[in-house]
Structure formats: structure tokens, C-alpha cells
Amino acid sequence: MEKEKRTKLYHHLKKWLEKAALDYNMIDEGDRVLVGVSGGSDSLALLDLLNTSMIFLPSFSLVAVNIDLGYDTSYEDYQTLKNYLEARGYDYVMEKTDIGPLVHSDWARKKPCFLCSKLRRKRIVEIAEERGCNKIAFAHHKDDIIETLLLNLFYAREISTMVPNQSVFRGKFNIIRPLAYIREGLIKKYAKEEGFPVIENRCSTAKVSRRMYIKNLLDELEKDNKDIRENIFKAMTYVKLDYLLKSGFKQEDRQESSKSDRAIIS
């Protein structure tokens, strides 16, 4: 473990990271944790914070894993991240792929984000098994959880989000999100404070994705109500099932109702 940082922001982030890990039972003694590292500020901050001594969490080990998506401009990024991981003494795996060009080809043009995520996670799970990891840590933060709720509500017609601790493959692995209680702005501030070599997201879809639309929408709503994001986050823990519709309304009925309504309105 590295020598601890002593800034006020560092202690704040460590407090909420450990609280999330405890609340959702993310880490047990002797766990081998794979940390997904894209090179962005969120994943670099997560790796850094997990690599410091813990107050309330048991001992565990880490391996950092980067899946290079294979964009033409990514060679310099790859070397920058590799040098950083080596200089910090991390156990790491870096793997080059052609996932980026593949999901933006005609083969997958309709759902590039979904397929990119699926292919990356498939390889990460394979590496987790190869390296003896039982936990897979992703750097999804509080804002990601809020945005995912709205994405699923708006586009998937369901009320759900990403959870802080998720068992997968019949309990063989757990996907954990230790930054679940921490806002994106604080993570980026910490990355800047620590001087992490943050790598730009090279994906051409990232700035026009549905997630970015939701992010911008929430920014606009926050101009009138600064508590919008916090209210949505807290609402996910205060669900009144008696005041939601029953599940007896079948999928085909919902589709038919929606078509009928649009026809009448138009």
C-alpha cells in the first residue's frame, strides 16, 4: 500500500468509499480485487484510493486491468498508463483489442455502447478468472447510478439502476462499485489534486450518447433545484411499492397502449 495522502479531500473520499464498502459488504478478508482502469479520472482515483491503507476494511490485494479499445490515437495513451502503473508498483494487465473500431462498424452501428460494454466486461471476467480474482471493482460513482436509473426509465421502460455490489455467474464473482456514495465532481477534483495522468476518452460516441443527454438534462434541472441529483439518489432507497403500478400489465399490452396513444395524439 502507498503512503496515505493527508488532504481534506482525500480523507473525505476514503470515508465514503469505506462506508459504501461496509454498507454493501463489498470486501472480505483475503479478497483478490480486479480494478477496471480505463485511464479516466474515475478509475485512476478508485485504483489510488483502494491502494491506500484502510481503517475499517479487511486486507485484500489488487490487480489493475486495462482493456485498450484499439483506436488509432491510443498508442501514446497506452504507454502513458503503462508507465504510470509501473512507476507506482501496481500488479497490472494491459491488453490491446479492436473493440472500439468493431462496435463502430456496420456490424454493430445500432448499439455501439451496449456492445462495447459487453465485450469489455467479457474479457475482464476472463482475466479475473485467469488472475484468481473474486471481486471486480468498477469506478461507477453516485452520478452514474443516478443517470442509469433515468436511462432505464426513459429508454428501457423499467425502474432499475446499477447496484453497489452485484453477484454474477452464480456467485463466482462480485462486481463492486466502491465509489457509489461519491459525486463525480469530487473525484475529478481529487484526480487533479493528485496529478493523475488522465487519458481522454477517445470514443466518438461518448459525447453524443444517451448517458450524456441525461447528464446534460440533470445539469439543466439543477439550475432550478441544486438538490435534484441528491433527491433522485435518496428516492431509490425510499420506494413505496404500494404506490406503483402492478406488474400484471404485460409487455405486449404496454406496447399496444403506447402505439394507440401516439396515434391519437398525432
Prediction pTM value: 0.89
* Rounded-to-integer distance, Cα 22 and Cα 7, Å: 23
C-alpha cell at 72: 488509432
Task: Tell me the pairing of strands 32-36 and 61-68.
Answer: parallel
Q: According to the model, what pLDDT value does residue 129 have?
A: 96
* Rounded-to-integer distance, Cα 59 and Cα 117, Å: 30
Closest CA relative to residue 39, chosen from 196, 199, 191, 190: 199
Q: According to the model, what pLDDT value does residue 258 have?
A: 64
Closest CA relative to residue 188, chosen from 6, 54, 9: 9
- 71-89 exposure pattern, b = at least 16 Cβ within 10 A, e = fewer: beebeebbeebeebbeeee
Helix 142-155 × helix 184-194 angle, to 10°:
140
Q: According to the model, what pLDDT value does residue 31 have?
A: 98
Q: According to the model, what pLDDT value does residue 12 have?
A: 97
Helix 210-222 × helix 142-155 angle, to 10°:
110
**Other beta carbons within 10 Å of 260:** 10
Q: Catalogue all structural domains in the chain, each as residue range(s) with its CATH number.
A: 8-206 (3.40.50.620)
Query: Which SS3 state, helix, strand or coil, does residue 80 take?
Result: helix
* Rounded-to-integer distance, Cα 18 and Cα 20, Å: 5
* Rounded-to-integer distance, Cα 242 and Cα 14, Å: 37
Radius of gyration of the chain (CA): 20
**Scanning the structure block, which residue is given the C-alpha cell 479492436?**
98
Q: According to the model, what pLDDT value does residue 73 have?
A: 60
Q: What is the residue type of 136?
A: I
Question: pLDDT tens string for the chain (266 positions)?
Answer: 445 557 999 999 999 999 999 999 999 999 999 999 999 999 999 999 999 999 999 999 999 999 987 776 667 888 899 999 999 999 999 998 877 767 666 666 667 777 878 888 899 999 999 999 999 999 999 999 999 999 999 999 999 999 999 999 999 999 999 999 999 999 999 999 999 999 887 766 767 789 999 999 999 999 999 999 999 999 999 999 999 988 766 666 666 666 666 666 65
CA–centroid distance for 242 within its chain = 31
* Rounded-to-integer distance, Cα 210 and Cα 130, Å: 34
* Rounded-to-integer distance, Cα 224 and Cα 32, Å: 44
